[in-house]
Amino acid sequence: MQKKSRIPVLRGLAALAVGMMALAACGGGSDENGPSGAKELRLWHYESADGAMGKAWSAAIAKFEETHPGVKVKFEEKSFEQINQSGAMALNSNEAPDILEYNKGNATAGLIAKQGLLTDMSDEVVKRGWDKLLSPSLQTTAKYDDRGIMGEGNWYGIPNYGEFVSVYYNKDLFKKYDLEVPTTLDDFTKVMDEFVAEGVTPLANAGAEYPAQQYLYQLALSKADRAWVDRYQLYKGKNDFKDPAWTYAATTFADWVSKGYIAKNSAGTKAEDMGVSFMKGDFPILVSGSWWWGRFQTDVKNFEWGSFLFPGNTLHAGSSGNLWVVPEKSKAKDLAYDFIDITMSKEIQNLLGNSGGVPVAADPAAISDPKSKELIELFGKVNSADSLAFYPDWPAPGYYDVLVQNTQKLINGSAAPNAFLDAIAGPYDENLQDQGLGD
């Protein structure tokens, strides 16, 4: 182990680098406000204005200004990439906003919580009762310990919405071949066999981005329990990549490619192409996240579609959505908490639900749109059973890319399941060592 040395020169360099990155990251001046009694709430988020979250949050801003006369909300639109790549630098500078949306997980929110850039809002959470509104697996992504690991420790963020992976299917194609919605993995396999026999590739897939690894993870989860998820995601005990769940996932995934359930030429495909091909009716089934829901709702015109949970699984990929966090340097923390409170109110939560999002605290009776209702009920099933199992790429920074590169090999048949498991074990274990989490 190296000794930590804090050389002034390095500090200066770090500051220099931060300054340069801040130059690249964002403009926008900071106004001097008094320590609360602030007349302005500076807010950043990166949701598109016409998406569910964007709509809900615009309404929340309006509501905030209505209930706080004399306070202006100064909203700055950011991009996901901007926050992801230089958000930390900005929070470390005097440019920090009073409240912002931040990506959840160890490598993102956990990293900046560990660095002391975020406000610990544990007292506020209890006082305002936000903890009552969030199920255990939604709370996991909101709490970080002093190593920046999610699941325990203090509250550093509050999610307004949830997301989860389910099976989307083309009802017309199921009808055409006289197939039922499967309830077990065996039935699911039979359905796919039928499609293959008819010369149809059943599963839409994208190897160049996240979809392939989510297929793999769903298969692993079919043989896993909560303790397995805690090992893999929260480092509670040793995760073994050669255990039955991982072995089953890798061999079955490779098997699904060789049987023609997943196209052999899908290694280079991007998620967008996968979604579009499902919307065109090229593939009868797509296993992916609830973020597609709103898009399918507006864009799928020529066939009926529906969704069911991955058959037989008690655990599903998914988590809370991104978090509202309050930077340590925020000059209006009390106003930031008031704003979060508004986003958790029934009014805003119901709007989020009716706009195609997955609210965490909506009133089911207030959701009028039937398709949105369907989504929220599906999420209700997952959430009440506490079966959100997060995403496969979360345990280590840069692990997303490791999984993409190696599932591509699995699709192309250039790596056998065993070699695949070895390849993904390396970087995972390396991260444990880097962070001093290893045994």
Partner 1 sequence: MATEIRKGERAVAVSKDAPPPVRPSRTVSYWLYLVPSGVLFTVVIGAPFVASVVLGFTRWQGIGAPTWIGLENYQRLFQDERFWQSFEHNLVLILAMAVIPTFLGLVLASVLFDFVGKRYGARTASGLRAAFYLPQVLPVAVAGVVWTWILKPTGGALNAVLEAIGLPGQDWLGDESLALPSVGGILVWLQIGYPVVIFMSGLQRVDPSLYEAAEIDGAGWWRRFRHITVPQIRPEIYVVLLTCTIAALKVFGPIYVLTRGGPGGATNVPSYFSYQNFFQKTQVGYGSAIATVLTLVIVAVTFLFLRAQRRGEETS
Interface ranges with partner 1 (CB under 8 A): 2, 4-7, 9-11, 13-14, 16-18, 20-21, 84-85, 88-89, 91-92, 107, 111-112, 115, 117, 207-208, 263-270, 273, 277, 282, 397-398, 400-401, 404-406, 408-409, 411-412, 414-415
Q: Compute how many other C-beta atoms are within 10 angstroms of the C-beta atom of residue 77.
A: 13
User: What CA–CA distances, in Å, run from 314 to 220, 226, 310?
Assistant: 11, 9, 9
Nearest CA-CA partner of 106 in 394, 401, 391: 394
DSSP state of 118: B
CB of 105 to partner 1, least distance (A): 12
User: What CA–CA distances, in Å, run from 51 to 47, 213, 380?
Assistant: 7, 25, 21
C-alpha atoms less than 13 angstroms from C-alpha of 235 in its C-beta half-sphere: 20
DSSP state of 3: P
Q: Which residue lies nearer to partner 1 by CB, 11 or 171? A: 11
User: Beta strands 72-77 and 203-204: pairing type?
Assistant: unpaired
Q: Which residue lies nearer to partner 1 by CB, 67 or 265? A: 265
Q: Which residue lies nearer to partner 1 by CB, 110 or 294? A: 110
Q: Which residue lies nearer to partner 1 by CB, 13 or 62? A: 13
CB of 235 to partner 1, least distance (A): 18
CB of 86 to partner 1, least distance (A): 8
CB of 418 to partner 1, least distance (A): 16
CB of 364 to partner 1, least distance (A): 39
Q: Compute how many other C-beta atoms are within 10 angstroms of the C-beta atom of residue 193.
A: 14
CB 407 within 8 A of CB 390: no
Q: Which residue lies nearer to partner 1 by CB, 108 or 233? A: 108
Is 372 buried (19+), middle (13-18) or exposed (0-12) by CB count in 10 A? buried
CB of 109 to partner 1, least distance (A): 13
Distance CA 239, CA 422 (A): 13
CB of 286 to partner 1, least distance (A): 15
Q: Which residue lies nearer to partner 1 by CB, 145 or 282? A: 282
Question: Which contiguous run of DSSP H or E holds residue 314?
Answer: none
Q: Which residue lies nearer to partner 1 by CB, 182 or 202? A: 202
User: Beta strands 158-159 and 162-170: pairing type?
Assistant: unpaired
